[in-house]
Amino acid sequence: MELKKTSLYEKHLEHKAKIVDFGGWAMPVEYGSVLKEAKLVRSGCGLFDASHMGEIRIAGPGALAFLQELTCNDISCIRAGQMQYNLFLNGRGGIIDDLMVYHCGDSFLCVVNASNAQKVLAWLLKRKISVLTVNDESAETSLLSLQGPAACSVIEKLFPQAQALQYMHFLHASHNDKKILISRSGYTGEDGFEIYCDNTSAVNLWDALLLAGRAAGCAPCGLGSRDILRIEAGYTLYGHEIDEDTNPLEASLDWAVKFQKNFVGKGMLLEAKIKGLSKKRVGFIMDERAIPRQGYPVYADGRIIGVVSSGTFSPTLNKGIGMAYIESAWVQAQPEITIKIRDAFYKATITKFNFVKGSAKK
């Protein structure tokens, strides 16, 4: 099957990107050096193509009530111009997908993971009532992500109004007479802006942002550095930390679960909370020079107590870091664990998820 391409595919080739298959999309994994790109975003500014993400708009009478029932966070807490991290759960409390919900006043824009977009769309359509519209806008939408401590100084050259945005807020603007949406958000832990535009505007906007960021050293960055940055920030990735067999409590996403409202999967989550969790997501830092990867077993007291869900070398800390699911009893028992990497054992210490504190204006 031929890979899907974003509107910026030719730009990636122009910048000599290494292209890989990412969930059926031909996406840039790097433009020469994953580590250099990660360092650039931590110190200055990088530009990502995230156009593979799915955008689903829900509108009509009862749209808020509809989404409130299908998500575990409380969307009624946000107003028009605000966005929220949320989760779609199945009847067992497992995570169908995590998403960002944009309150657009007369509609809600749900931004979901590329690999889950069609699954989520079908799930929403199956449950929608006749007065609601559920439109998949993914095919005509591009998403550019400008990330790093210098991102604000870059974007204000093109959109001066964006610099006043608070974290997790957004506004509507125009570029070359085309409507765009700009949010102060990202997946790196750094200050940044995510820009949604029509596919026909993507190339021009990409070029304009790189030109505006030239003095700040802004350059294209690929999915490889994005993964390093999200692990350093302690963010989950579907298929690694979260899936349909893992619930938000196990994933340490309790803060995104509001039990004061009703939602799909609530009963099972309450039951799990009362019974106690069998596993829990934790962060860890390698004490020895080694790089953990997904699937590596975690040991304590000579036996396996869990498995690594994500791991990488952190160029910011100059150490191996990662996240793992371990038996809940061990979360508070002791901070020392051991990771089996190939045929050797390496010591690690359990720590907080946000390994690197970025410049995000939270």
Q: Is this structure's pTM higher than 0.75?
A: yes
Question: For residue range 60-105, what is the model confidence (pLDDT) as tens digits?
Answer: 999 999 999 999 999 999 999 999 999 999 999 999 999 999 999 9
**4 DSSP assignment:** B
* Contact residues for 212 (Cβ-Cβ < 8 A; gap 6+): 154, 155, 157, 158, 218
Q: Could you tell me the two tokens for 264?
A: 């799909």
The residue type found at 123 is W
DSSP secondary structure of 248-309: TTTTT-GGG--TTS--TTHHHHHHHHHH--SEEEEEEEESSS----TT-EEEETTEEEEEEE
What Rg, from alpha-carbon coordinates, does the chain have? Answer: 20
Q: At 128, list the tokens.
A: 């929608």
153-174 pLDDT, tens digit each: 999 999 999 999 999 999 999 9
Question: What's the pLDDT score for residue 240?
Answer: 98
Nearest alpha carbon to residue 131 among 77, 197, 65, 62? 62
> How many Å apart are CA 216 and CA 197, to the nearest integer?
24
Q: Which residue has the higher pLDDT, 322 or 129?
A: 322
Query: Distance (Å, rounded) from C-alpha 75 to C-alpha 103?
Result: 8
DSSP string across 75-139: GGG--TTBEEEEEEE-TTS-EEEEEEEEE-SSEEEEEE-GGGHHHHHHHHHHH--TT-EEEE-GG
Give residue-wise pLDDT tens across range 287-322: 999 999 999 999 999 999 999 999 999 999 999 999
Residue type, 322: G
- In angstroms, the CA 315 to CA 319 distance is 7
Q: What mean pLDDT value characterizes the chain?
A: 97
pLDDT of 362 over the 80 cut:
no
**Of all helices (H) and strands (E), which one includes residue 14?**
helix 9-14
Give the contacts of 32 (CB within 8 A, at least 6 positions apart).
Answer: 16
Residue 276 pLDDT more than 90?
yes
Say which residues have a Cβ less than 8 Å from residue 9's Cβ, sequence separation at least 6. 26
**Could you give all domains of the chain from N- to C-terminal order, each with its CATH number?**
1-233 (3.30.1360.120), 234-351 (2.40.30.110)
**Residue 334: band (very low, low, confident or very high) from pLDDT cuts 50, 70, 90:** confident
Which two three-digit tokens encode residue 26? 């031909």
- Average pLDDT on 233-262 reads 98
In whole angstroms, what is the distance from residue 234 CA to residue 352 CA?
A: 8
Give the pLDDT band (50/70/90) at residue 223: very high
Q: Indicate whether 333 pLDDT > 80.
A: no
**Partners of residue 47 on adjacent β-strands:** 146, 220
